[in-house]
Amino acid sequence: MTARAQGKTVGDRNGPQAAKVSGSWAGRPSGVPGAVPPPSVPLSFLAAASAGLVACGVAWGWVRAAAAADPNSDPAIAAVHLGVLATLTMGVLGATHQFTPVITGRPLRSVRMARATFVVWLATSWLLPLGIGFEQTGVTAASGGLAVVGLVLLAWNLGGPLSVRKKGTPVAALRLALVGAAATTLLGATFVGDRQGHWFVPSARVDLAMGVLGLFAWLGVTYIGVAQKLWPMFMLAHVPGRHRSGTVAVWATWLGAAVLAGGLAHGSPIAEWAGAGVLGVGLGAHLVSLRAHLRRRRRKADLHLTFVVTAAGWLVVAAGLALAGTLVMAHHHHEGVALVAAAMVAAGGWLLEALVGHAHKVVPFIVWSLLRSQGAPSGPSGKPLMFADLYHHGLAAATYGTLTSGIGALCAGFATSSAPVIAVGGVLLAVTGIVTAANLSVRSLHQLTAVRRGTGLPARATAYRPAPAARRM
Ligand code: HEM
């Protein structure tokens, strides 16, 4: 039987049989769906995302003056891509590789190909900014070629689980996101090609089209769709009946982003306004869906909730800044461009705040299943290990503070064209990247080492029970 055919029934298979399935991993504890890839797949993407956040923060400090003077300058474009590619794209790709098999119930076509996808996107996301920032056209060209290879690997690997007959909003979102990824990457490769011969001059509006496609039609739609699965679990919120706002959010965000990007690229104000309107409907529906989950949640307010609500707040800030920038630009060009740049930062902040917030749930969950697979150690109190034992909660709260004020400073720095404020934002983002990576890895590595050395206390031999454990996340 082929791995794909096996995938149809792989949902709850454990043990030696599961090892034959392409998405599965040896020693997977009972209860973890068989289609889920080995923990190293999502964790490598997420680790790379925190390194990207540190580099992005350092870059904003470095290029502060050029970015304040002209948000479309090459140094700013380099720092932007350390944010959107090395941080956000790597983080979202980690989530996509983890949750596509969970949502569809089918494994990835190949774990080896997932690792190759990681290497190729990691190289792309660092070579592109380095090539642009240090004016190395050969390096920039290589990144463009790698991006296309990365896109093909991604589409082939996710195409397997996404070809499932299953419908539903999260599956539709992941399919649309793949189309958004293709559009963004091909546009990026065209820009990179142009940098070799300067056949055309990409205007600031065409650059903005890429930002809209990448942030909303690819990364944003992925988050909006996957959130429909994650929010009920993390908030213990069951929204009864057909949840229309989630569906409208996915389709309208994607469609609006596509029409707005097309309007920006072709200089058509009608398409720009129509696209912006539909995008607004989609993002509004996303907020309505969040409200429905908040009203029905059974879990008390926690840090995850604070991250998610703050992320939604950045979306409102982005919409306000974008509208203000568009209106101001007609009379005061520089001020208008500055406000639109600040709007893009706020839109990126929406995804970054959500990514860091969800990482504090998802990483401990993945590490916990890895630890269980290696011997089920006990937590600090001698009781069975909980997800919450795997990081320091005070540091996580501090991360929320540095991240939120970092995004705020970067927004304010761009809106007011202030180099020192942009630099402060950069420092805060770099601190966030370092603290998050350390906080989410130190205790886990300590536990793993203890288990491997046999010094960890074995927990009571309990079977994996997702529901009670999830309540303690
Ligand atoms: C999620 C993915 C992406 C997002 C959100 C994104 C966003 C942006 C934004 C906002 C700009 C304008 C920056 C500014 O003016 O300061 C831009 C420009 C650019 N992007 Fe991307 N980008 C993404 C992926 C890519 C990829 C995969 C490539 C190519 C491998 C690429 C290549 C470029 C190039 C070369 C420019 C400069 C165009 C010029 O010469 O003006 N981008 N991108």
The pLDDT tens digits for 62-98 are 999 999 999 999 999 999 999 999 999 999 999 999 9
Binning pLDDT at 50, 70 and 90, where does residue 391 land? very high
Average pLDDT over residues 19-26: 56
The pLDDT tens digits for 181-190 are 999 999 999 9
The pLDDT tens digits for 220-247 are 999 999 999 999 999 999 888 777 999 9
Tell how far the Cα of 338 is from the centroid of ligand 1, in angstroms: 17
**Nearest-atom index, ligand 1, CA of 185:** 27
Lowest mean pLDDT among 32-41, 127-136, 371-380: 371-380
Binning pLDDT at 50, 70 and 90, where does residue 8 land? very low
What pLDDT, on a 0 to 100 scale, did the predictor assign at position 18? 42
Give Cβ neighbours of residue 421 (< 8 Å, ≥ 6 apart).
Answer: 409, 410, 412, 413
Ligand 1 binding pocket includes 353 (Cβ within 6 Å)? no
Tell how far the Cα of 48 is from the centroid of ligand 1, in angstroms: 19
Which residue CA neighbors atom 2 of ligand 1 most closely? 214
More confident residue, 84 or 201: 84
CA 258 to chain centre: 19
More confident residue, 472 or 432: 432
Tell how far the Cα of 105 is from the centroid of ligand 1, in angstroms: 34
pLDDT at 250 over 70: yes
Average pLDDT over residues 422-439: 98
Helix axes 269-296, 303-329, angle to 10 degrees: 160
What is the amino acid identity at position 122? L
Ligand 1 binding pocket includes 215 (Cβ within 6 Å)? yes
Ligand 1 binding pocket includes 80 (Cβ within 6 Å)? yes
Tell how far the Cα of 326 is from the centroid of ligand 1, in angstroms: 21
What pLDDT, on a 0 to 100 scale, did the predictor assign at position 449? 82
Which residue CA neighbors atom 27 of ligand 1 most closely? 185
pLDDT at 439 over 90: yes
Per the prediction, the chain carries an average pLDDT of 89
186, 147 Cβ separation under 8 angstroms: no
Q: Record the pTM.
A: 0.91
280, 265 Cβ separation under 8 angstroms: no
Measured distance CA(247)–CA(281) in Å, rounded: 12
What pLDDT, on a 0 to 100 scale, did the predictor assign at position 381? 64
Which residue CA neighbors atom 1 of ligand 1 most closely? 214
Measured distance CA(268)–CA(406) in Å, rounded: 35
Helix axes 90-104, 137-162, angle to 10 degrees: 10
What pLDDT, on a 0 to 100 scale, did the predictor assign at position 131? 97
Tell how far the Cα of 460 is from the centroid of ligand 1, in angstroms: 52
Work out the widest C-alpha separation in the chain, in whole angstroms.
70
Average pLDDT over residues 340-358: 98
Ligand 1 binding pocket includes 222 (Cβ within 6 Å)? no
Measured distance CA(408)–CA(405) in Å, rounded: 5
**Cα atoms in the 13 Å half-sphere on the side-chain side of 268:** 12
CA 177 to chain centre: 12
Query: Ligand 1: which of 60, 70, 81 to mutate, most ligand atoms within 8 Å of CB?
Result: 81
Tell how far the Cα of 56 is from the centroid of ligand 1, in angstroms: 14
Lowest mean pLDDT among 201-205, 231-235, 314-318, 468-472: 468-472
Identify the three-state secondary structure at position 392.
Answer: coil
Kindly state the helix (H) or strand (E) to which residue 168 belongs, with its residue range. none
The pLDDT tens digits for 280-302 are 999 999 999 999 999 999 999 99
Where along the chain do its domains lie? 31-166, 297-473
Binning pLDDT at 50, 70 and 90, where does residue 379 land? low
Query: Ligand 1: which of 207, 260, 337 to mutate, most ligand atoms within 8 Å of CB?
Result: 207
Which residue CA neighbors atom 31 of ligand 1 most closely? 188
- Residue 187 token pair: 């546009």
194, 41 Cβ separation under 8 angstroms: no
What pLDDT, on a 0 to 100 scale, did the predictor assign at position 25? 67
Average pLDDT over residues 241-267: 94
Average pLDDT over residues 194-216: 87
Tell how far the Cα of 83 is from the centroid of ligand 1, in angstroms: 11
